[in-house]
Amino acid sequence: MSSGRSEHGSAAVEFLLVSVLVLALLLGVVQVALAVHVRSLATDAAAEGARVAARADRTPADGVARTRALLADALTGDYARDVTARRATLDGSAVTEVTVRTPLPVVGLLGPGGTLTVRGHALEEL
């Protein structure tokens, strides 16, 4: 009977230890999912902004405005602050390049910091 008393309460401690590990794993998965989601949305917005700016009757400023509108609608205005567009040459072709720099979303205090930079390109219409 004394062997049963020595393990009294061990289930609660084991549950606590396992639940802390599972919670840390869950937060890591959520962190990666949010970062991939933001990257995907920013890449799509940059590509769409480049397509708008590359039209014959549009300017790079139109592409920046479109990219900012898409990011603000999909995420928040904080992710649309640093958007630039320029005319460039890529592999000998005239293109419009839209660059988006967004903060990485952080879950908890242990998430990655810094910014994420993506670019979208579109061939210039003549």
Task: Assign 3-class secondary structure to the chain.
Answer: CHHHHHCCCHHHHHHHHHHHHHHHHHHHHHHHHHHHHHHHHHHHHHHHHHHHHCCCCCCHHHHHHHHHHHHHHHCCHHHHCEEEEEEEEECCEEEEEEEEEEECCCCCCCCCCCEEEEEEEEECCC
Is the model's pLDDT at 5 over the cut of 90? no
Mean pLDDT check: name the lowest of 4-8, 25-29, 56-60, 89-93: 4-8
Is the model's pLDDT at 4 over the cut of 60? no
Cβ atoms of 90 and 121 within 8 Å: the answer is yes
Q: Model confidence over 52-74: pLDDT tens digits? A: 999 989 999 999 999 999 999 99
Q: What is the mean pLDDT of residues 10-29?
A: 89
Model confidence, pTM: 0.80
Cα–Cα distance measured from residue 99 to residue 67, given in angstroms and rounded to the nearest whole number: 9
Q: Model confidence over 33-59: pLDDT tens digits? A: 888 999 999 999 999 999 999 998 999
Q: What is the mean pLDDT of residues 76-90?
A: 92
Cα–Cα distance measured from residue 37 to residue 6, given in angstroms and rounded to the nearest whole number: 49
